Amino acid sequence: MPGFIVKAKQDAASSYSSSSIAMDDQTPSSTSPKSVLGRLRRKLSPRKRENPSLSTDSEASKHCSDLQRVFDYFDEDGDGKISPAELESCVRTTGGNLSMDDAEAAVSSSDLNGDGLLDFEEFQKLMEASRDEEKNEELRLAFGMYEMEGSGCITPTSLKRMLSRLGDSKSIEDCKAMIRKFDLNGDGVLSFEEFSYMMR
């Protein structure tokens, strides 16, 4: 990952956290159910292993057991399935904000067998989707900082402007060269797809 992008990510992250005081509690209406779930997932999943030296679990099974814990937490009546009502009430008790409509939409978006409830496998899918969406939001945020306003792409000029704002002066030629490295279709600018590819 090139240095200027790392910088963008850090910048995006810090500007995000400085505004999070205002944003956290009064969830903006643009927040999707999935990003609410993404925040919840972070809240409910312990960051560190309680006892790292004893654990020989693989990352995958660790992830799975964390998720199982989250699932059990949501499944208030313990029937092994999460209903939209359980989802809604659980988000509320953890300080989130999810309307009943959004809860139903979130459940049905991952309800593979159409019973209107989420079993563990379906829940896993929903959480994975929320993680993807979250990643995508971060990317959009970083992209937006470098994008030429309204054009939907990063041009040598917009890249130069952003870099100089970050205290890193580059010539237009330098910026063109940086873009060229990731310019898959050769049109001289970076689209969001090219930018995401570069960040992978």
Interface pick for Ca ion out of 111, 123, 130, 158 (rule CB under 5 A): 111
Report the residue number, 77 or 128, with the smaller CB distance to Ca ion: 77
Q: Which two tokens stand for residue 18?
A: 């400085």
* Using rule CB under 5 A, residue 147 touches Ca ion: no
Nearest to 36 by CA among 149, 148, 127, 119: 127
By CB under 5 A, the count of residues binding Ca ion is 11
* Using rule CB under 5 A, residue 115 touches Ca ion: yes
Binding mask 54-93 for Ca ion (x = CB under 5 A): ---------------------x-x-x-x------------
Nearest to 106 by CA among 43, 36, 45: 36
Rounded Cα–Cα distance for residues 157 and 172 (Å) = 7
* Using rule CB under 5 A, residue 168 touches Ca ion: no
Rounded Cα–Cα distance for residues 119 and 110 (Å) = 10
Distance of CA 24 to the CA centre of its chain: 15
- Could you list the residues that contact Ca ion (CB under 5 A)? 75, 77, 79, 81, 111, 113, 115, 117, 183, 185, 187
